[in-house]
Amino acid sequence: MMRPALGIVVVACATAFSPLAGQAPLRLSFAEAVRHASGQAPAVALATLRIDEAIARVRQARAALLPSLDAAGLWVNRDFNSRSLGINFPGIPVLVPSFNNYDGRLTATQALFDWSSAARVHAASAQADGSRADAGATVEGAAQAAALAYLRATRAQALVAARQADSSIAAELVVLAQAQRAAGVSPSIDVTRARTQLVAAEGLLIVARNQRDRARIDVARALGLEPGTPPELTDTLTGTLGAADMGAEPGVVVAAALANRPDLKAELARGTAARRTSSAIRAERLPQLGLEADYGANGLTVPSAIATRQVALKVTVPIFDGLRREARLAEQDAVAQESQVRERDLRQQITADVDTAFLNLRSAEAQQVIAAEQFRLALDELSQARERFKAGVAGNIDVINAQSNLIRARDTDIDARYAAASARVALARAAGVARTLH
């Protein structure tokens, strides 16, 4: 019995020195993990900041249509050549002596008609809409990443429970084999086989616990938590884990996806922005009308300064700019056409994503039913083999084979439940409702 005891000590030590041991766990359900990732994941925070940047660019574009006001003060001390000004009269020196000039002035400008700048405001607004849609796509991706990380952690947790059950069964078989040998109805090799199975089960338990702890770290990273914060998962691989708020028919889900997918909304916004930018470039050919006014004081000394003012109405008519405007317009038209191609392809991809997700879900659910039946039969096989061993009509090789079959069946059942839950998450992502996963 020393070897089994040694294995148990090794398992306990591995758990005690785990990087997550000794810390207060954070209880976390599947729905809570998805909500946390949708609102506080680092990628979501960065996407929110990009929205702020886009809104700021809208304000920058709008500034061209708003009035501006400047204040300036000037002091000049100069002399000049009177001949250079066309002054060539007797008695007037060629070099006029230096003198001071003081000037303080307020200048205001206002665009009265600038259709190009107005179109650029609309283009910037479309870009801001695209940034909001991109943020929605980021939220969907963060929710999916957190959901899958949670599912991997629950799978690892289920494997730990499975390996614990395997170890318990192996320990019972060791006791049974020793009792059978003591009764003289079983050879020593049966005890050796049983102990070998127990040691192997304990080794697999150590590996499973390590994988569980690593999966919990992955969950913390997906949620933007400190890696040393050990989340305690409150949900298990049930038949409803990973469900979302959406319809049950592929046609309904496809229609909803085409209306809700944020990546499609982002592409539509980029196309709109490109077309509005083209309109802004075309509007540069139109005349621009602006008003400028200034008011200030001017004089040779500050006390002698007198008020002066100026009002100007300016009309600018673009004539020729070296064909730069036409080149920029051709570039933006190409960008708009690229967006149309991507939009069409994305619509087809969304339909394919939903159809594929439904196929995978139906296959995973069918496999889950088969795996559950296989697991039930493996339990019956082990029970019958154990009864035959107790009755002394067979050696424990049948029990060990049945135990191996049970281990494989248990793992298959866990993998099938994990695959079904992952398929539900993939379907929600394809439908654009990953943030509603629960």
pLDDT, tens digit (0-9, with 9 covering 90-100), for 337-372: 999 999 999 999 999 999 999 999 999 999 999 999
Rounded average pLDDT over 108-117: 93
Confidence at 7, pLDDT banded by 50, 70, 90: very low
Please give the DSSP secondary-structure letter assigned to residue 238. -
State residue 225 phi and psi, 5-degree precision. -90, 165
User: Do strands 95-113 and 231-233 pair parallel, antiparallel, or not at all (unpaired)?
Assistant: unpaired
Q: What is the pLDDT of residue 24?
A: 62
Express as a percent the part of the chain with pLDDT over 70.
Answer: 94
Residue ranges with strand state E in 252-370? 288-299, 306-316
- The whole-angstrom separation of Cα 289 and Cα 158 is 73
Are residues 79 and 96 in contact, defined by beta-carbon separation less than 8 angstroms?
yes
Domain over 32-76+99-436 is classified CATH 1.20.1600.10: yes
Cα angle 60-66-70, degrees, rounded to a multiple of 5: 95
- Residue 13's pLDDT band (cuts 50, 70, 90): very low
Burial class (CB in 10 A: 0-12, 13-18, 19+), 18: middle
| Collapsed DSSP state (helix, strand, coil) of residue 236 | coil
First-residue to last-residue Cα distance in the chain = 46
The model carries a pTM of 0.82
Q: Span 57-72, mean pLDDT?
A: 94
Model pLDDT, residue 315: 94
What does the domain layout of the chain look like in residue ranges? 32-76+99-436
Question: Contact 423/357 with Cβ under 8 angstroms?
Answer: yes
Question: What rounded mean pLDDT belongs to the chain?
Answer: 88
